[in-house]
Homo-oligomer: A and B are copies of this chain.
Amino acid sequence: MPTQEELYEQQLEQITDLLTARHYLELREVFEDINCADIAQLLEDLPQEKLPLVFRILPKEVAAEVFAYFDSDAQERLIRVLSDQELKEVLDELYIDDTVDMIEEMPASVVHRILTVAPSEMRHSINQILHYPEDSAGSLMTTEFVRLKRDMTVEEAFVNIRRTGIDKETIYTCYVTENDRRLIGMVSAKTLLLSDSDALIEDIMEDNVISVTTHEDQEATAQMFNKYDFLALPVVDTENRLVGIITVDDAIDVLQEEATEDIEKMAAISPSDKPYLKTSVFKTFLSRIPWLTLLMLSATFTGYIITAYEEALGRFVILTAFIPMLMNTAGNSGSQASVTVTRGLSLDEIEFRDLPRVMWKEFRISLLCGAVLALVNFAKLLLIDAQTNPSVTWEVALVISLTLVVAVIAAKVIGCALPMLAKKIGFDPAVMASPFITTIVDALTLVVYFQIASMMLGI
């Protein structure tokens, strides 16, 4: 059976062939059997100049859905060649939140054109959502949801859904509001379907509704989907008036983006919002160079520490040979702790009040790790290294192994505490998580190494 990747290559080839042969009707038929998300990817992979032609071949409803799946480059290229009428047709079919996502990525001239073409009601909603901070619940929401009244019957609710549902992003969770728009309950389509048609909404609705305010952070909002298994979450203003809803597909995007951001920060990269292959060389360079430079300069401290012991190292050059091993091992130990704790903080599994518990736990883990590493290393130094290198005496082996124990304990305890303290004072724990800890732990390891060496070898 061909893999997904091979199937995709076959489809791309078939489409290219049909395009070259100008068999447009046949091409239209091929697209009928392909999911819109896949069509979008295929069109992006075609030569750029073919995009408008192929896009116009698609049936109208399909075209709009495909458009929503395009990356912002393809969207922009397309908007620039579409007529006002064509653009209006696409906008009519798009959900408001997808339109806003698109607008956020476009240059001002394109935004202006979109807002000019959009009907006034749509323009109003777009402006409302654009007004919220970029990483807030308000910017994620859509204003297209099903609103019910408490005194409706189930039958009336269905009439309402049938009349307005086609334009709503979801009809599976309906919200019950008072006349002043205050949110008082929710009822799922499942409950509606399983209730008597003359039952009153206020009798079957869930009145204990979990909601977020427009300014809630998008990561915390998305985590609520993870915790409560919601399909949609209502967004209210400070007076508990319902202004929009967030659907689970957008929450998944946020969860994936936030995980990617955390991973990037842990690897000393400033987060970018575009996929790697779509980011230019210069932009990628810009997202990496500040951290590299900062960390390079901060490694100056380790240089100073070594220089301070220059003379002693001239006499005991063998000590130099183990500096990388000691620093790497301590750095890895610290990263293990900091990365674990940082991920726990992101997933709300760890809170600040757990700090003493976490430190005590890491202390015990580091004792075990330090002891095992020191033993393995001591044995290796005496049984292997000492055979070929007479400078590796048992005193040297002891210095190195003792340093390992102390450095691993320090690395793990600092590694777990720093991200938690960072979060408490409003810094980003992920930035603390890996490269920063390594720099601190490196310096510390060297100090411990030379102190122990001074005491035991008299350097």
Question: Which residues of A pack against B, CB within 8 Å?
Answer: 5, 32-35, 37, 158, 161-162, 165-166, 171-172, 189-190, 193-194, 208, 210, 225-229, 231, 248-249, 251-253, 255-256, 259-260, 262-264, 266-269, 275-277, 281-282, 284-285, 288-289, 291-293, 295-297, 299-300, 302-304, 306-307, 310-311, 313-314, 317-318, 320-325, 327-329, 332-333, 335-336, 339-341, 343-344, 347, 349-351, 353-354, 357-358, 361, 364-365, 368-369, 372-373, 376-377, 380, 385, 389, 408, 434-435, 438-439, 442, 446
Identify the closest chain B residue to A438 (Cβ). Answer: B328
A226 CA to B389 CA in the complex, in Å? 56
| Chain B residues, Cβ within 8 Å of A321 | 303-304, 306-307, 310
| Chain B residues, Cβ within 8 Å of A327 | 324, 327
| Chain B residues, Cβ within 8 Å of A385 | 300, 303
10 A-B pairs in the complex with CB atoms less than 8 angstroms apart? A37-B229, A226-B252, A226-B253, A267-B340, A281-B361, A288-B333, A297-B380, A300-B385, A306-B323, A324-B446
Asked if residues A263 and B343 are in contact (CB atoms below 8 Å), the reply is yes
A325 CA to B302 CA in the complex, in Å? 7
| Chain B residues, Cβ within 8 Å of A172 | 172, 189-190, 231
Asked if residues B299 and A324 are in contact (CB atoms below 8 Å), the reply is yes
Identify the closest chain B residue to A278 (Cβ). Answer: B349
A-B CB proximity, top 10 nearest: A267-B339, A299-B325, A259-B259, A229-B249, A302-B324, A306-B321, A275-B349, A303-B321, A285-B368, A296-B329
Asked if residues A281 and B364 are in contact (CB atoms below 8 Å), the reply is yes
| Chain B residues, Cβ within 8 Å of A251 | 252
Identify the closest chain B residue to A430 (Cβ). Answer: B263
Least CB distance from A265 to B in Å reads 10
| Chain B residues, Cβ within 8 Å of A256 | 226, 255, 259, 347
**How many chain copies does the complex carry?**
2
CB-CB under 8 A for A328 and B442, given A263-B343, A343-B260: yes
Asked if residues B336 and A269 are in contact (CB atoms below 8 Å), the reply is yes
Asked if residues A293 and B372 are in contact (CB atoms below 8 Å), the reply is yes
| Chain B residues, Cβ within 8 Å of A353 | 5
Q: Could you say which of A229, A248, A339 has the most chain B C-beta atoms within 10 Å of its C-beta?
A: A229
CB-CB under 8 A for A33 and B324, given A256-B226, A281-B365: no
Least CB distance from A255 to B in Å reads 7
Least CB distance from A409 to B in Å reads 13
Asked if residues A269 and B351 are in contact (CB atoms below 8 Å), the reply is no
| Chain B residues, Cβ within 8 Å of A249 | 229
| Chain B residues, Cβ within 8 Å of A335 | 267-268
Asked if residues B35 and A285 are in contact (CB atoms below 8 Å), the reply is no
| Chain B residues, Cβ within 8 Å of A300 | 325, 380, 385
CB-CB under 8 A for A320 and B329, given A165-B194, A193-B158, A210-B35: no
| Chain B residues, Cβ within 8 Å of A341 | 276
| Chain B residues, Cβ within 8 Å of A408 | 292
Asked if residues B162 and A194 are in contact (CB atoms below 8 Å), the reply is yes
Asked if residues B190 and A171 are in contact (CB atoms below 8 Å), the reply is yes
Least CB distance from A340 to B in Å reads 6
CB-CB under 8 A for A333 and B193, given A310-B321, A328-B438, A340-B264: no
Identify the closest chain B residue to A296 (Cβ). Answer: B329
| Chain B residues, Cβ within 8 Å of A296 | 325, 328-329, 373, 376-377
Instruction: From the candidates B229, B295, B358, B369, name the one contacting A329 in the complex (CB within 8 A).
Output: B295
CB-CB under 8 A for A292 and B161, given A310-B317, A361-B281: no
A231 CA to B255 CA in the complex, in Å? 16
A364 CA to B279 CA in the complex, in Å? 13
Asked if residues B373 and A228 are in contact (CB atoms below 8 Å), the reply is no
Least CB distance from A445 to B in Å reads 9
A444 CA to B76 CA in the complex, in Å? 44
Asked if residues B303 and A322 are in contact (CB atoms below 8 Å), the reply is yes
Instruction: From the candidates B252, B253, B320, B434, name the one contacting A267 in the complex (CB within 8 A).
Output: B434
CB-CB under 8 A for A328 and B295, given A275-B344, A314-B314, A314-B317: yes
Instruction: From the candidates B231, B275, B320, B368, name the one contacting A289 in the complex (CB within 8 A).
Output: B368
Instruction: From the candidates B269, B313, B354, name the one contacting A320 in the complex (CB within 8 A).
Output: B313
